[in-house]
Amino acid sequence: MYFIIPRYFLKKKYVAATLLTITIILLAGFIQRFLDYYVFYPIYAYEFMAGSPFNIPKSIKNVLSIYPAVALGAFIKITKHFYNEESKSQELRQQKLQAELNFLKGQIHPHFLFNTLNNLYALTLKKSENSPEVVLKLSELLSFMLYECNSRTVPLSKELKLIENYIALEKIRYDDRLTITYETEGDVSKNQIPPMLLLPFVENAFKHGTSDSIDEVWVEIHIKVVDRSLSLSVKNSNGFDTVEKNEFEYQKGIGLKNVRRRLELLYEDHYTLETNDTEDQYSVSLTIELDELLDHNSV
């Protein structure tokens, strides 16, 4: 059966597999009958071995006694085959999901770094005395990106520290022109989160909530942790001219799509993400069940 099943049955050659199986069982039954008569009967003289070697009823009885063993062997072989195929399929799915997660996460890094370097460049043009502080904050951000982002998860406290460093850079850049509210609530020391999962929402608020066409620019960020549930609320001022609005809608669409897809891969349906875009305000509300993180080997 270990020969017939992979070469015929699993290749959907069912007629050939059936004929070969029947032939082998019949041959085995008759061979057993000849062995009983010519080998074992002279030695053991068991009554059931007596009679003609061509005794059809006894040969059929031998065939029927072999059938359960053949059926069991076939069942084991087929079960093993489908188990191995399912394992391979699962491994391929995980590899595909891992590759997609790495791609989505990789899109965040250069975009984030580019914006931060732009901030530093703007300050150096002004010969700002805050440039050294910006370099220090930037080094901390780069350290996180280099050494933490390849981990499946990081402490939530580190993710929030990343956000705080980014906010500090934006405060230096915009000075008194921008009003920032940042609040956290709950114990953030006991939870883990995939790296740079929250930052894109914060970065998006600063990027699109500080347009020169907006009179009063502001950003509000609220993070709340209750047991294993995390809630993020990000709001920013809104109000673009037509060109800026079109660009914002395009970039927002791509960015939000990437983040939403990453959330789907990481948490399936154990999260909610809602956005609201009005004439003077854009808001994002995210809730995650942190202990429902799926295992894709490493994210």
Has residue 47 been placed in a domain? yes
Has residue 149 been placed in a domain? yes
| Residue 48 shares a structural domain with residue 134 | no
For residue 261, the model assigns a pLDDT of 86
In this structure, are residues 293 and 266 in contact, taking their beta carbons and an 8 Å threshold?
yes
Domain boundary among 56, 88, 120: 88
For residue 289, the model assigns a pLDDT of 93
For residue 221, the model assigns a pLDDT of 97
pTM of the model as a whole: 0.60
pLDDT digits (tens, 9 = 90+) for 20-51: 777 776 676 666 666 666 565 555 555 554 55
| Residue 21 shares a structural domain with residue 152 | no
Has residue 97 been placed in a domain? no
In this structure, are residues 265 and 258 in contact, taking their beta carbons and an 8 Å threshold?
no
Domain with 203 in it: 128-292
Measured CA to CA, the distance from residue 179 to residue 244 in angstroms comes to 21
Measured CA to CA, the distance from residue 37 to residue 133 in angstroms comes to 97
| Residue 141 shares a structural domain with residue 281 | yes
In this structure, are residues 37 and 62 in contact, taking their beta carbons and an 8 Å threshold?
no
| Residue 57 shares a structural domain with residue 147 | no
For residue 20, the model assigns a pLDDT of 74
Q: How far is CA 118 from CA 21, 77, 121, 134, 239, in A?
A: 74, 62, 5, 11, 23
In this structure, are residues 219 and 234 in contact, taking their beta carbons and an 8 Å threshold?
yes
Has residue 110 been placed in a domain? no
CATH code for the domain of 183:
3.30.565.10
| Residue 184 shares a structural domain with residue 265 | yes
| Residue 134 shares a structural domain with residue 248 | yes
| Residue 132 shares a structural domain with residue 249 | yes
Has residue 114 been placed in a domain? no
| Residue 285 shares a structural domain with residue 138 | yes
Q: Determine the distance from the C-alpha atom of residue 245 to the mean position of all C-alpha atoms in its chain, rounded to a whole number.
A: 33
Measured CA to CA, the distance from residue 133 to residue 277 in angstroms comes to 34
For residue 38, the model assigns a pLDDT of 59
| Residue 49 shares a structural domain with residue 175 | no
Has residue 17 been placed in a domain? yes
**Please, what are the averages of pLDDT over each run of 10 residues along the chain (299 residues)?**
61 73 70 63 53 60 63 71 72 59 54 66 69 75 75 90 88 81 91 89 82 77 93 86 48 67 88 90 93 63
Question: Cα angle vertex 224, ends 292, 140, to 5°?
Answer: 90
Domain boundary among 37, 70, 88: 88
For residue 60, the model assigns a pLDDT of 64
Measured CA to CA, the distance from residue 299 to residue 293 in angstroms comes to 10
| Residue 74 shares a structural domain with residue 183 | no
For residue 166, the model assigns a pLDDT of 86
| Residue 192 shares a structural domain with residue 61 | no
For residue 150, the model assigns a pLDDT of 75
Has residue 120 been placed in a domain? no
Measured CA to CA, the distance from residue 5 to residue 13 in angstroms comes to 9
For residue 243, the model assigns a pLDDT of 45
Print burial letters for 12-36: b (CB count within 10 Å at least 16), e (below 16).
eeeeebeebbeeebeebbbebbeeb
Has residue 122 been placed in a domain? no
Report residue 51: phi and psi, to 5°.
100, 180
Secondary structure in 3-state letters for 210-248: CCCCCCCEEEEEEEEEECCEEEEEEEEECCCCHHHHHHH
For residue 113, the model assigns a pLDDT of 67
N-to-C CA span, the chain: 42
Q: Minimal CA–CA distance to 116: which of 98, 138, 94, 100?
A: 138
Q: Which contiguous run of DSSP H or E holds residue 190?
A: none
| Residue 134 shares a structural domain with residue 206 | yes
In this structure, are residues 297 and 98 in contact, taking their beta carbons and an 8 Å threshold?
yes
Q: Which contiguous run of DSSP H or E holds residue 183?
A: strand 178-185
Domain boundary among 88, 112, 139: 88
Q: How many domains does the chain have?
A: 2
